[in-house]
C-alpha cells in the first residue's frame, strides 16, 4: 500500500465515541451515524474515519451541528487547506471556507451559486489538486440541490480496452478558465477575475490516469469542466477521446446521488471521484460551507 497522508492526529486523551459506518447501496459512499464532530476525536476514532474515507470515497456525516471553526479544525487534520481563487465568496473571518450559495443580498451574490455546474474534481487545475472537500449544509431548498458523485476508480476499472490503450501514459491540460466565460454569461455568480486571480490559475498538466497516493489504486483524472486537451494529440483526436472518457466516467452504474438532509456534512475524495451539482430552483435558497484540503502532485 502507498501512503503519503500527512494529517494531524487528535490528542490521545480524547474520549472514544460510539458510531457506525454504514456503506451505501451505491457504487461508493458510506454514512457515518452517531459521531459528533463538535467533540474532539480520539486517535482511534480519527483513524476509523480516515480508513473509511479511503475505502468508500464519500462519507456522509449526519446531523453535524458544528461551527465554521470546527469544520476548519476537522478538515485541517487531513492536511493544509486551500483558499479558493474567488476569495470574495469566503466566509467572513474564515478565508478557508467558501460559501456555496444561490442567495442574493442587496442585489449581490453572497456565494458561488453555480458551483459544480459541470462534472469535475475540485482544484484539478492546481499543481497540487485537492485531496478532498467537505461541504456542510447551512440552508437547504425544499426541492432540488442534490449532488452527484462518480467513482473514477470504477470508471478506470471498467474502461474498454481500446480506451485504456489510448490513454495510458498520456497527460492532459487542466485550467480553471476552461468554461469560465460560458458560466459567466449565463449567471450572476461569476465575477470578473483580477490579474492576480488569473495568475493563480495558470494551466497545469496532469496524468490522464492517476495513482491514488494512499491506496495505490488507479483512477481516471479528467473532467468536462477543467480538462481542455490531451497533450501531444491532434485537436480532433483529443476532443473525441475526452468525450468518450467523460461519457464512460458518469455512467449510472458508477454514480451516487446525494439527497441532502439538514446539517449533513459530506466529505469526498477528489483523487477518487468527480462530482456534479444537480441544480436548485432559482426561487429556493441554498447555502453550504466548503473547505478544501490540499493534496499531492498527481502521478
Within-domain flag for 12 = no
Within-domain flag for 231 = yes
**How do residues 50-93 score in pLDDT, each as one tens digit?**
999 999 999 999 999 999 999 999 999 999 999 999 999 999 99
The DSSP-derived string for 181-198 is HHHHHH-SS-PPPPHHHH
Residues 6+ apart with CB under 8 A from 164: none
Closest CA to 33 of 62, 74, 55, 54: 62
Q: How far apart are CA 299 and CA 287, in angstroms?
A: 35
**DSSP one-letter code for 77:** T
The mean pLDDT of 229-257, rounded to a whole number, is 98
| Domain span holding position 60 | 20-294
Within-domain flag for 192 = yes
Angstrom distances, CA of residue 132 to CA of 104, 163, 274, 294: 28, 27, 11, 7
Would you state the pLDDT for residue 166?
97
Closest CA to 276 of 115, 66, 119: 119
Within-domain flag for 246 = yes
**DSSP one-letter code for 117:** S
Element housing 19 (H / E) = none
Q: Where are the alpha helices (DSSP H) in 40-100?
A: 43-56, 68-76
Number of domains observed in the structure of the chain: 1
**Which position has the grid cell 477518487?**
272
Q: How far apart are CA 147 and CA 149, in angstroms?
A: 7
The pTM of this model reads 0.93
Within-domain flag for 4 = no
Neighbour-count burial for 238-267, b at 16+ CB within 10 Å, e otherwise:
beebbebbbebbbeeebbbebebeeebbbb
Q: What cell was used for 101?
A: 450559495
**How do residues 165-213 score in pLDDT, each as one tens digit?**
999 999 999 999 999 999 988 888 888 999 999 999 999 999 999 999 9
Within-domain flag for 188 = yes
10 has a pLDDT exceeding 80: no
Q: CATH number, domain at 31?
A: 3.60.130.10
Instruction: Point out the residues that are catalytic.
Output: 120, 122, 275, 290
Would you state the pLDDT for residue 189?
83
Within-domain flag for 13 = no
Angstrom distances, CA of residue 297 to CA of 56, 211, 212, 221: 22, 10, 11, 12
Residues 6+ apart with CB under 8 A from 279: 144, 145
Mean pLDDT of the chain: 94
Amino acid at each position: 500500500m502507498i501512503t503519503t497522508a500527512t494529517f494531524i492526529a487528535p490528542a490521545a486523551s480524547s474520549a472514544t465515541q460510539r458510531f457506525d459506518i454504514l456503506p451505501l447501496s451505491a457504487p461508493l459512499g458510506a454514512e457515518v451515524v452517531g459521531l459528533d464532530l463538535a467533540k474532539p476525536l480520539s486517535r482511534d476514532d480519527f483513524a476509523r474515519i480516515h480508513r473509511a474515507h479511503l475505502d468508500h470515497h464519500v462519507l456522509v456525516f449526519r446531523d453535524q451541528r458544528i461551527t465554521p471553526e470546527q469544520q476548519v479544525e476537522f478538515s485541517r487534520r487531513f492536511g493544509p487547506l486551500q483558499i479558493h481563487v474567488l476569495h470574495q465568496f469566503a466566509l467572513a473571518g474564515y478565508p478557508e471556507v467558501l460559501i456555496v450559495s444561490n442567495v442574493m443580498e442587496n442585489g449581490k451574490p453572497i456565494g458561488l451559486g453555480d458551483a459544480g455546474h459541470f462534472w469535475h474534481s475540485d482544484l484539478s487545475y492546481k499543481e497540487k489538486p485537492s485531496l478532498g472537500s467537505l461541504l456542510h449544509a447551512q440552508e437547504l431548498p425544499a426541492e432540488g440541490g442534490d449532488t452527484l458523485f462518480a467513482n473514477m476508480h470504477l470508471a478506470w476499472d471498467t474502461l474498454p480496452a481500446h480506451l485504456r490503450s489510448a490513454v495510458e501514459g498520456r497527460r492532459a491540460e487542466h485550467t480553471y478558465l476552461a468554461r469560465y466565460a460560458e458560466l459567466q454569461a449565463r449567471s450572476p455568480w461569476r465575477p470578473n477575475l483580477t490579474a492576480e486571480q488569473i495568475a493563480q490559475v495558470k494551466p497545469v498538466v496532469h496524468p490522464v490516469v492517476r495513482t491514488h497516493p494512499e491506496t495505490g489504486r488507479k483512477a481516471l483524472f479528467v473532467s468536462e469542466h477543467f480538462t481542455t486537451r490531451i497533450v501531444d494529440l491532434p485537436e480532433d483526436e483529443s476532443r473525441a477521446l475526452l468525450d468518450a472518457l467523460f461519457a464512460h466516467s458518469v455512467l449510472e452504474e458508477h454514480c451516487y446521488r446525494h439527497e441532502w438532509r439538514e446539517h449533513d456534512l459530506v466529505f469526498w475524495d477528489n483523487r477518487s471521484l468527480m462530482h456534479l451539482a444537480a441544480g436548485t430552483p432559482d426561487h429556493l435558497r441554498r447555502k453550504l460551507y466548503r473547505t478544501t484540503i490540499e493534496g499531492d502532485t498527481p502521478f
